[in-house]
Amino acid sequence: MQNKGSREQLVLLTGATGYVGGHLLKALEAAGKRVRCLARRPDLLRSRTGPETETVRGDVLDRSSLIGAMQGVHTAYYLVHSMDSPESFEQKDREAARNFGEAAREASVPRIIYLGGLGESSGELSPHLRSRHEVGNLLRAGGVQVIEFRASIIIGPGSISFEMVRALAERLPVMITPLWVSVKTQPIAISDVVKYLLAAHDLTISGSPIFEIGGADIVSYGDIIREYARQRGLHRLLIRVPVLTPRLSSLWLGLVTPFYARVGRKLIDSIRHPTVVHDAAAQRLFGIQPGSVRDAIADALRDEDKEFAAIRWSRVLTVAGDSPNRKEFRFGNRIVRSETIRVRVPSASAFAPVRRIGGATGWFYGEWLWQLRGLIDLLAGGVGMRRGRPNPELLEVGDQVDCWRVEAFEPDRHLLLAAEMKFPGRAWLDFEVEGDNGASTIRQTAIFDPLGLLGLAYWYATLPLHRVVFAGMLRGIAAAAART
């Protein structure tokens, strides 16, 4: 089967709103592939796709919606699951896989590429791993060629497994852990997973092979937690005890990481099974050299910072469909507080006070509180508050603004400041201005990345003060814009 990346061959991508699918979408677009995304709510996906990517409405549980979506498709990626369902995820996964395989056959789709889970089929598997293997078998039963990859933990910001590791390491200085933290696994970075999935599109091969993929290291779950803690500068003690079963562990996980509790409990049940690569055929055939656990975690933290700096909160919150003016929420490990104010001036006038912030202009509210915070920082060995700025009117990336540094700047639209004071974590202030018909919206977003429990304690202890100061500062900026 030949595929030279031709523009004539259409790719159908399911799961584009998910973690792996979102990364694969970017890679497919960057490689110049024609992409059609299947989504239950295409309107939520369109803002994430390139101009040439097509989005269609469909649901793998609705077989009739799949037939039209698969017309003209050469390769279909199956990257969906039902583990977040409160009902029986196994039955839903079974029905979805049958629908997809049969619809692909009816539409004469030559190839399906599927990402499943590692685990020895010969042994007794957890419901999650058993379902992942069953999905691959049902896709193959449709009669279309299926290239199946089986992976263990995927490391990257936003991956459920990685976020659970992060939550445990960040929130628990001492962990009473069950024996399963010693079970061996072979984590793989999201970038390496995407390389395999992308390479399979152009692979010339017969039959429906199963490829096991993993990173360079075989480690325990405890090793992953300790390595994450090391890179974050956290000291964590893991004490193993024989009494915590996967069932009890899943209940405990729901208390520590409530956001991922439903899916996490199903994953916990799989942890007692080793998930390591026994057949290295994938590495030999594709020529991909996966990285180490240390590099994967370092890349995840670095990529997260890069992606985070590029976020426009106005777009994120609009896509999410939120309507309240003031918002406080979690974004991964970060705590975000975002609020807006409307002013009847053009965007350039609305942004002018933002551009002049700090230095002789000040911070538009509670100047004595800012000075007090700077004094405390000086006493703690930090940079303090009054360092000024290079130019009272102009800003460039890298400029110092009192105790902040400019990380991103777009004239009349966007300013991102990173704090240089001493915190048990990291902090940013983000300003966006959008204008229309002589009026503008100013959005101010405060972001805090807490370091462990001390960081969380700092944020919540100072939260009432933050609310007063940030709200007052936004009103002050609006008043200055109106005067301008």
Structure tokens, 306: 């890069």
Q: Is residue 272 part of a domain?
A: yes
pLDDT value at residue 4: 42
Which residues are bridge partners to 213 per DSSP? Answer: 151
The residue out of 289, 306, 323 marking a domain boundary is 306
**Where are any strands of DSSP class E within 42-91?**
54-57, 73-78
Which structural domain range is residue 360 located in? 312-483
Q: Is residue 5 part of a domain?
A: no
Residues 172 and 265 in one domain: yes
Residue 128 pLDDT > 50, yes or no? Answer: yes
Enumerate residues 6+ apart whose C-beta is below 8 A from 402.
Answer: 358, 359, 370, 374, 385, 386, 387, 388, 389
Q: What is the mean pLDDT of residues 14-34?
A: 92
The Cα 182–Cα 191 span in angstroms is 26
Residues 323 and 252 in one domain: no
The residue out of 306, 330, 346 marking a domain boundary is 306
Residues 258 and 380 in one domain: no
**Which carries the bigger pLDDT value, residue 251 or residue 285?**
285
Number of separate domains in the chain: 2
pLDDT > 70 in the chain, percent:
86
Task: Compute how many other C-beta atoms are within 10 angstroms of the C-beta atom of residue 144.
Answer: 22
The Cα 297–Cα 170 span in angstroms is 14
Residues 283 and 348 in one domain: no
Residue 278 pLDDT > 60, yes or no? Answer: yes
The Cα 169–Cα 402 span in angstroms is 33
Query: What's 15's domain CATH number?
Result: 3.40.50.720
pLDDT value at residue 321: 44
The residue out of 306, 328, 347 marking a domain boundary is 306
Residues 301 and 351 in one domain: no
Query: What's 387's domain CATH number?
Result: 3.30.530.20
Residues 376 and 285 in one domain: no
**pLDDT tens-digit profile of 437-475?**
789 999 999 999 999 889 989 999 998 998 999 999 999
**pLDDT tens-digit profile of 373-424?**
888 888 877 777 777 899 999 999 999 999 999 999 999 999 999 999 888 9
Q: What is the mean pLDDT of residues 1-7?
A: 41
